[in-house]
């Protein structure tokens, strides 16, 4: 009788242990599949964020009008790739921070583009009054400051996103 009871108790605990192991294995497979599906988004996110930081650095050390335009094209391309990856992976529907991250980088791109427009005005109107030039310079600096703010916010959201 003791042998039968011991076998039943052992079988009960053995079955529960096996069932828990299977559930853990299934969860690990789901997490791995989710990470694999999200990988294109995170690759594009890292590239876009790196390019935005590159723009910040280039502005800090100085760059000419032509080089700024070239860098802006690269940034716009990286942000567009990020937005496509977000849609393709569906991550924006699963992780709200992914949507916020994309918005912040879009806003940064738009602010960098606005700065380019102010720079265009300054260059295309060389005979402007000093007051007008100072106004354009102020607007240019404000646009860069706004872009930098958005990049910094995107950085914080990206850190949270990686840890989810």
Which tokens sit at 100? Answer: 């916020």
CB 64 within 8 A of CB 54: no
The residue among 62, 58, 137, 71 whose CA lies nearest residue 109 is: 71
pLDDT band for position 32 (cuts 50, 70, 90): confident
Least confident segment among 68-72, 131-135, 145-149: 131-135
- As a whole number of angstroms, the distance between CA 159 and CA 142 comes to 26
CA distances from 83 to 36, 79, 105, 126, 137 (A): 18, 6, 10, 38, 31
- As a whole number of angstroms, the distance between CA 18 and CA 120 comes to 69
* Rg from Cα positions in the chain: 26
- Name all domains of the chain by residue range, CATH numbers in brackets: 41-162 (1.20.120)
Tell me the pTM. Answer: 0.79
Q: What's the pLDDT at 36?
A: 80
For the chain, the average pLDDT equals 92
For residue 134, what is the enclosing H or E element? helix 130-162
Torsion of CA 17, 18, 23, 28, to 10 degrees: 100
- As a whole number of angstroms, the distance between CA 114 and CA 128 comes to 20
CA distances from 8 to 5, 11, 33, 90, 117 (A): 5, 5, 37, 47, 79
| pLDDT tens sequence across 48-73 | 999 999 999 999 888 899 999 999 99
């Amino acid at each position: 009788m003791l042998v039968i009871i011991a076998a039943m108790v052992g079988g009960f605990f053995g079955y529960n242990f096996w069932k828990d192991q299977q559930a853990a294995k299934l969860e690990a497979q789901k997490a791995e599949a989710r990470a694999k599906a999200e990988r294109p988004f995170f690759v594009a996110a890292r590239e876009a964020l790196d390019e935005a930081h590159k723009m910040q650095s280039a502005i800090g050390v100085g760059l000419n009008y032509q080089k700024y335009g070239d860098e802006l094209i690269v940034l716009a391309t990286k942000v567009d790739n990020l937005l496509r990856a977000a849609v393709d992976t569906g991550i924006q529907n699963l992780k709200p921070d992914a949507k916020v991250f994309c918005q912040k980088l879009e806003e940064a791109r738009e602010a960098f583009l606005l700065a380019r427009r102010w720079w265009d005005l300054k260059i295309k109107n060389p005979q402007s009054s000093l007051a007008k030039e100072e106004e354009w310079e102020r607007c240019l600096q404000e646009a860069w400051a706004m872009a930098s703010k958005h990049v910094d916010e995107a950085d914080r959201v990206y850190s949270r996103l990686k840890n989810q």
